[in-house]
Structure formats: C-alpha cells, structure tokens
Structure 1
Amino acid sequence: MGTAADDYLNQPLVLPPRQPIRIAVYSRLASGIRSGILPPGTLLPRESDLAGMLDVSRTPVREALILLEEDGLVTTKRGVGRFVADSLPNTGLESLRPFEQILADGGIVDIRPFRFSADPATEFVSDHLGIDVGATVWFRESVITLDATPAAIAQEHLTAGYDPRTGLNLDRTLNDAADRAQTLLAALMEDPSLSFDSSECHIVPSTAGQSRASLLDVDADDPVLVLTQTVTHGGTPIYLGKYIVAKAVPSLTIIQSTK
C-alpha cells in the first residue's frame, strides 16, 4: 500500500457511544475503499497488522472483513490474502445517504409529508437521541412512494431549539424543509455548516398493523421492515429516523459509514 493508505489506516478509530468496534473498523475500511484511498485491487494488510494499525483486537477486524466481503467490497484469494474488489457494488445503506436516494436506485421516488409538529420526547426518542423524556423534539411523518406506489413511512425526530451538547439550533433549517418533498435528513445534509461522524441503522421484521397498513395500502398483517437510524454530529446523536418499509422495496444493506 502507499503512504496515503498507511496514514489513513493508522488514524485512531472514532467510536461513538454504543457502536460495536467491528462497525467502526468496517466503516474505516469501507470509507477508504469508496473514496479511492484503497484503490481496486489493493492487497489489504493481514488481520494482525490491521488490528495493530487500528489499535483493536483481531476479532473485530476479522468480523469487519467478513462483512466487507459479504457486501462485495473485498475479495479473498486463497493463500494470498484479501484484496479490494476490482469493481464495487452500488452504494446502499452502507454509506450515509438520505433514504429517498437509496430508493431512487429502484425507481421514481416522491415524498409526501403529512405531519410536522413539536412534541415531547417519548422514551424511545429519549433513548436514541440521549435527551430527557419530555424534552421538546421536532417530529415529521411522511409517506414515501416508489413509482407512485406507497413504499415506506418516514418518522423523523430531531431536537428542537438550542442544543447545548452540540451548540446547534436546527429550527430554521427544519422549518424551511417542513413541506419539501425530501426527508429532513436530506435537508440537513445540504447544510454546509453541518457534518456527520457516524450513523447506525437497525433493521427488524414486523407487520404493518392497522394504521400503517392504511398509509402503505397493504393488509394489516403484511410483512414490513422497520429501520431505526441514528446520526451523530461530534459524537452526539442529533437525528432519529424510523422507516417502515413495505415489501415492494428492494433489499437493503445495513452497515453505514459517513465517508
């Protein structure tokens, strides 16, 4: 590897609260691959060498490399080692992108907001954003269509007013974006003054339920995927998105990086 790649891999890992080490290792390597710092065909260091460079144990390195191979970013040549894939798959949820951009890979996307309000934080929101229960948060709910068919429900939460943890006040950005045909995350990512250092997405299977079914135009017992996403700024979670995804949506990757 070249000096730039060595310098990149020797930088200390950023470990946001509750993020597994293997995800941080995955993110570092995936970011290097996607950005070209680790070009196609590059022979990666051995597991033990990577562990030393990143100052972690071999186990999370091995787990991250397995994930990278499953996602098509790395290939293994028996008896030689692991290489960056010669051609990379399309970016899914392994790179931080607004949800509508991910769906756009499969068709024409439209977002229809139908609720925007300032609400007290529930225990669910409090746990994910690290704020007190009852603190005021912005909440917006939208239906996302794919080729004119309801594909997902987006429920987005952000802290309201001045946040002393980050020094941010997102109210103006959110008010300006309230009626736009885009997610609030997309609006935040367009703000040049904001940067994001990590994202985490959990996916669980569920059923639509009566209220969701009516919005998605499916039966109440139809299967859905529930994606819960948090995004951090300076190590502090500032965005919580919950996406209820209908079965019409293509399969999605779950590991994320911001680079």
Structure 2
Amino acid sequence: MSTADAEAYLAEPLLTSPGQPLRVAVYSRISRGIRAGVLRTGTLLPRETEIGTALGVSRTVVREALMLLEEDGLIVTRRGIGRFVADSLPPEEGGLLPLEHLFADEGVDARVRRLELSSQGATDFVTDLIGLAPDSEMWFRECVVASGDRPVALVQEYLPGDAGLRRADPALAREFAAAADDDATLLASLTRRAGVEFESLGCQIAATLAGQTRARHLDIEPGDPLLVLTQWASVGGEPVYVVKCAIPATFGHLVVDGWSLTRVR
C-alpha cells in the first residue's frame, strides 16, 4: 500500500457505536489498518495533529489511542523522530476470553455461582453450531456471573459428551469433572486445568426481553431488555464449545470485534 492509500484510509469517516469512547474508535481504526497492511510495518505514522484532523477528533483522543496501541505492541516510539508501526506484530488473539474476566471491575473480581450441570441429548441449536450428531450426548452447564453483589450475566455452556471431548483433546475429558465443580465458567476452568486454548469460530448477537426465568437469576424485571451473545469455539481444530450469555442492558458498553467480546470502560 502507498502513502496515499494510508492517508485515504485514515481520512475515512470515523464511525462509533453509542457509548463507545472515541479513543477506542481511533484505536480500532489504526489497529485494523496495521493488521490489514494499509499501515505497513516499519513505516512512520502521521503526527498526532494530522491523525486528529483526518479523523475529526482531538489531539488528546489520538494520544490516548496511540498509547494503547503502543501498550499492545502494534506501534513503537522513537524519541525525537515519531511513532512507527512495529517491525513485527504480536499475534492476533483468537482465544475466547473467560466471561468472569470480562465482567470483573477494577479491584472487584467477578464471581461465578453454579446453577446446573446435566447430560442431555444434543439440541438443534448445538448441532448446527458445532456439528454434533443429532443422537449424541452433550454436557449443559448454567451459571450466573456477578460483579460485586450485582448479577451481570447468565451463562449457558454446551460441550460434547466425553467421547467428543476426548476426540478434541484427551485432557478435556480427563479434567471435565473437576472443572465442572469449580466456581468458574467451564471455559475458564478447562483452559486452566487442561492447558488448552478455545479458538473462536464465530458469534451471534440478539436483543430480547428477559422473561421470568432469566429475570429471576439476574435480579431484573421480566420485561427488561437483554443482549444475548452466542459464541462457539474449537480446540485443536475440533468444534467443541458453545456459550450463550444473557447480559442486562444496564450492564455497560460491550464491543464485538473480530469474533471476540471486549468491554469498553
């Protein structure tokens, strides 16, 4: 890509979603340009004022975004010269973030309260996403994630039965029983116990109303709106995990980027 291509890319209108901080939007614009090769490795970035003018934001917003980019290893500062795209880029994170990490606030750990663990016949919902045979068994686990005293998510996790877990990675089947007893999501516990990484395959987002059961678990009204995020993942190339997460609209601002969920603070 030429310098003109990079300038044209930065000059495109900056789109933000409601509640999204401008620094996050600027970070996303520049990081996508770096990953796509529009802003080439080793090249000098425009000055803060030039980026701000191109994107229609203040120099302070640009500076905050550039600080985040440098923290993540995407750019480097050379004193007296300027900021450059890093010569080598850190790998993109493909693993799913455990939900209790996402929902933790500074100084307040998220807590997980287990509700149910059962072995069930595979449903169409799960077979469509991770390819289980219609007559196969699957594990279902439900829990509530709370930040402080406030319930922030109702989490339903689905995995194949023991045979399917062994096919993906024997450690999954070996550690499943212990992981299911942990006060953590299965994603977090299996990642830690089995030493595997769940690679994101996709996500779906829906807006709905809480209903009686979800409202009771989340301490909200049945008519309150919910964001329902469904994600599915593989281990070692084998589709093996589905999670459905119901989040109250009052929780805060969340962004789905590259099939991963992040919280904007």
Please classify the TM superposition score into its range, dividing by the shorter chain length: 0.5 to 0.7
Number of matched residues? 197
* Cα distance, 1:217 vs structure 2: 1.3
* Cα distance, 1:70 vs structure 2: 3.5
Aligned match of 1:100: 100
Q: Is the 8 A contact 2:200 2:259 kept in 1?
A: yes
Distance 1:46 1:228 in 2: 39
Aligned match of 2:25: 70
User: Which sections of structure 1, spanning at least 5 residues, go unmatched?
Assistant: 1-44, 51-64
Distance 1:231 1:151 in 2: 22
* Cα distance, 1:194 vs structure 2: 2.0
Runs of 4+ in structure 1 deviating by more than 6 angstroms, as ranges, are none
Cα separation, partners in 2 of 1:180 and 1:71, compared to 1, 3 Å:
farther
Deviations 1:29-64 (A, max 9, x none): xxxxxxxxxxxxxxxx559x99xxxxxxxxxxxxxx
Q: Is the 8 A contact 2:95 2:198 kept in 1?
A: no
- Larger relative helix fraction: 2
Aligned match of 1:236: 238
Report the secondary structure of 1:112's partner residue.
strand
Aligned match of 1:88: 68
- Higher RCO (CA < 8 A, seq sep 6+): 1
Aligned match of 2:147: 146
Cα separation, partners in 2 of 1:248 and 1:152, compared to 1, 3 Å:
same
* Cα distance, 1:159 vs structure 2: 0.7
Q: Which amino acid counterpart does residue 139 of structure 2 have in structure 1?
A: W
Cα separation, partners in 2 of 1:144 and 1:71, compared to 1, 3 Å:
farther
Distance 1:95 1:125 in 2: 20
Distance 2:103 2:2 in 1: 36
User: Which sections of structure 2, spanning at least 5 residues, go unmatched?
Assistant: 7-13, 17-23, 40-44, 47-64, 73-92, 261-265
Normalised by the length of structure 2, the TM-score is: 0.62
Report the secondary structure of 2:203's partner residue.
strand
Cα separation, partners in 2 of 1:194 and 1:216, compared to 1, 3 Å:
same
Normalised by the length of structure 1, the TM-score is: 0.64
Alignment of 1:1-259 (within 5 A): 45=1, 70=25, 72-75=27-30, 82=39, 86-88=66-68, 96-105=96-105, 107-163=108-164, 166=168, 168=170, 170-191=172-193, 193-256=195-258
Q: What CA RMSD, in Å, does the superposition of the two structures yield over aligned residues? A: 3.8
Distance 2:163 2:111 in 1: 31
